Amino acid sequence: MTTTPSPASAQRLPRDLALVTVAIDAAMVLVNMAIQLWPDSPHGEQLRSTYALPGVWIPMVFSIGMAWVLAAALAWSHGRNALEKRGVGSVARLPHPRIRYAAVYIAVLVLNFYLLSPLFYEVQLLFMPGGRLHDFFGSTSMSAAMALFTVLQSVAQLILLVLGVWVSAWFALRAASAAPSDAQQQDDDEAIGASPRRAVALVGAAVFASLQMWSGVVVSRWTSVARGMDGLELLIAWMLPPLVAFALAFWGGWLGANAGLARVRPFRAVAAAALAFVLVQVSCIAIALAWVMLATWSHSFDNAGGLIGFALALVLVYSVLVVVLMRAATRWLYRRY
């Protein structure tokens, strides 16, 4: 039994892929947590008491949320890219793209949860006291080796997330078809493009904020900056930075995108966010190091006022850099459009 291609259904495909991605991620997390915290599980009681600690569940919730936002933004981008490149009619003729995407994405998550994650954990145990690598590196260089492994593990997990969404979208959207004609492309742009400029800013902001949260998660794994915070302070410390980063990146992306854009070109927005993120981090690190060297030479950090002033100045510099570099990266990558 064949179904009649529906242009309206095809136009909803980017949104549906994003929703399917978040729904599957949420279901997988709930199933995994239920298995771990089940009363009859071997370590259920210990895990329940551990997850009840604010210092454990708050970073975990925001880390999971970061992955969901990034995966949803990438899934939306794949769907939108297919609409813009192939046309609404071609995408409407794809056989059950949502089901195919969901099937592959579930398989990818199962592989990640039950094969790759335990493998990463086994490697991490090698760096723990009594592990083989701990004895090899010694106690003096162990902290640096553990920090390097944490960064590499986080990078590997980020790459796996991106590849998982890409493989799922490729399988769901693969179908050889001719590119739409210019007239048909214009009709498709009018049908699917409610606000390309806003979409560019939203995708860029979502990717930038997710990467910023990802870097915060990486740093929190081998630093003790937030150990003295209580539950509310810790919640604000984890919630406020990504919201601010999203707002600043959205502003920069909106300023960088041309008001007359006809198409979103979503992966250009993703590339702009990634480029701006790297430039912001490098710039902030360079400015902070230069400021610390200057302050050390002039003894500006000898009192609390100097430290507070340094922190406020760094926040201001970060805010300006996010807007300026996001605007510049977006404008550069969309300069032909």
101-140 pLDDT tens trace: 999 999 999 998 888 877 877 777 666 666 666 666 666 5
pTM of the entire predicted model: 0.88
* Domain boundaries, given as residue ranges, for the chain: 1-192, 196-337
What separation in angstroms does the CA of 207 have from each of 48, 65, 75, 275?
32, 12, 12, 11
Beta-carbon contacts of 295 under 8 Å, excluding residues fewer than 6 positions away, are 301, 306, 310
Residue recorded with tokens 């390097």: 148
* Residue 298: pLDDT band with limits 50, 70, 90: low
Beta-carbon contacts of 105 under 8 Å, excluding residues fewer than 6 positions away, are 20, 21, 24, 164, 165, 168
- Both structure tokens of 9: 């259904």
Beta-carbon contacts of 180 under 8 Å, excluding residues fewer than 6 positions away, are 86, 87, 89, 90, 188
Q: What is the pLDDT of residues 242-285, one digit of tens each?
A: 999 999 999 999 999 988 888 899 999 999 999 999 999 999 99
Whether the pLDDT of residue 87 is over 70: the answer is yes
Burial of 285 (0-12, 13-18, 19+ CB in 10 A): exposed
The pLDDT, as a whole number, for residue 176 is 47
Arithmetic mean of pLDDT, 33-49: 79
Whether the pLDDT of residue 178 is over 50: the answer is no
DSSP-assigned letters across all residues of 62-125: HHHHHHHHHHHHHHHHHHHHHHHHH-HHHHHTSSSHHHHHHHHHHHHHHHIIIIIHHHHHHHHH
d(CA 152, CA 148): 6
